[in-house]
Chain A
Amino acid sequence: AQKITQTQPGMFVQEKEAVTLDCTYDTSDPSYGLFWYKQPSSGEMIFLIYQGSYDQQNATEGRYSLNFQKARKSANLVISASQLGDSAMYFCAMRELIQGAQKLVFGQGTRLTINP
């Protein structure tokens, strides 16, 4: 079963608009962490934002915010005032305890293209 699901293979957004990237997850562990990473065409993975399963408030980091809906098991990334440099692949990931080891599992990714 897919642990992390990103249903949008690609998205096209006009510059300066806000964009929401979807992520749903599946776990029976009450303690878990959710991450978003950005991967530009150069290939490196850049950490954007983290949300813990027990955090009461949605995480924010500058123009990034995480819309965490625990009951629906969704952790959507919201980018406000998009910029051309935001064009990249975006990966949602979940950290959970599997067989005594903390592991980070990634979704399939969403390719975001910002148009001028």
Chain B
Amino acid sequence: EADIYQTPRYLVIGTGKKITLECSQTMGHDKMYWYQQDPGMELHLIHYSYGVNSTEKGDLSSESTVSRIRTEHFPLTLESARPSHTSQYLCASSDPDRLGPLATNEKLFFGSGTQLSVL
């Protein structure tokens, strides 16, 4: 059973607003991820973190930013939301340390997602 939580579940806001999507996990996982998913489409990695004070850009360019001040918390921020940011945002975590750095069976645990609509 995964213990990773995202809030809010749904968010509808106007253009130009600053928003923060919350993601927390209670499993003590070092690695955390943000994926963006348009309806019926594949997931694209936009940010990831190896641990506290570590943040990396993913494969898909995103105007959002992330921070990792605590192990359990990995919030995503949009300084000025636009309609093009409308999408589902999925947070995930994994714990690769016990598997070794080259392990390929590192399973991701996902949150329920935040569906963002920018009007």
A residues engaging B (CB < 8 A)? 4, 31-33, 35, 37, 42-47, 50, 52-53, 89, 91, 95-97, 101-109, 111
A45-B108, A89-B40 known; 8 new pairs, CB 8 Å cut-off, are A43-B113, A45-B90, A50-B105, A95-B104, A101-B56, A102-B102, A104-B45, A106-B35
8 tightest Cβ-Cβ pairs between the two chains A and B:
A33-B104, A45-B110, A43-B113, A106-B43, A106-B42, A44-B112, A108-B42, A95-B104
- What B residues does A32 contact at CB under 8 A? 104
Q: A35-B107, A44-B111, A50-B105 are in contact. Are A109 and B96 (CB under 8 A)?
A: no
B residues engaging A (CB < 8 A)? 33, 35, 40-45, 56, 59, 88, 90, 92, 96, 101-113, 115
